[in-house]
Amino acid sequence: MAVVDPSTRHRQAIERAIRAIPRGCVASYGDIAARAGLPGRARLVGRVLREAGEKARLPWHRVVRASGHIAFDASTEAFARQCKRLAEEGVIVTRGRVDNARFGVDVDVDAQLWAPRTAGTRVRGG
């Protein structure tokens, strides 16, 4: 069959993984790629976000580097937007980086949120 371009399929998986990030939390590019079924394609996540832009309505501001650092330079406007959006969700950003140990999705309970397919057994309750 005329399968869609692999890159297109990957892009959809990445966008879906990004939207899965709970409010008030952040995830690294590597995690997004891994949850999208593309381990090691962290750079691809960044490319998707760049092409998507704000028009895609993606919570791109919840995506940071593996070290918790904002992917942009502190002097860029994108950095200011991301920092502002995170602050509005309760995520503290200090010196261009967030506390992964506190806001990271890699804590433990959030592991269920990242479940591939819980058949509707989505954990809720805030």
* Position among 72, 85, 106, 110 found at the interface with DNA (CB under 7 A): 72
47: its two tokens: 């490319």
* Position among 24, 37, 53, 90 found at the interface with DNA (CB under 7 A): 53
| Nearer to DNA among residue 8 and residue 118 (C-beta) | 8
First to last CA, the chain: 42
Residues with Cβ within 8 Å of residue 114, at least 6 apart in sequence? 20, 31, 35, 105
Q: Does 29 help bind DNA (rule: CB under 7 A)?
A: yes
Q: Does 114 help bind DNA (rule: CB under 7 A)?
A: no
Burial of 94 per CB tally in 10 Å (0-12, 13-18, 19+): exposed
Q: Give strand pairing partners of 94.
A: 97
Q: Does 21 help bind DNA (rule: CB under 7 A)?
A: no
* Position among 9, 16, 23, 43 found at the interface with DNA (CB under 7 A): 43
Q: Does 121 help bind DNA (rule: CB under 7 A)?
A: no
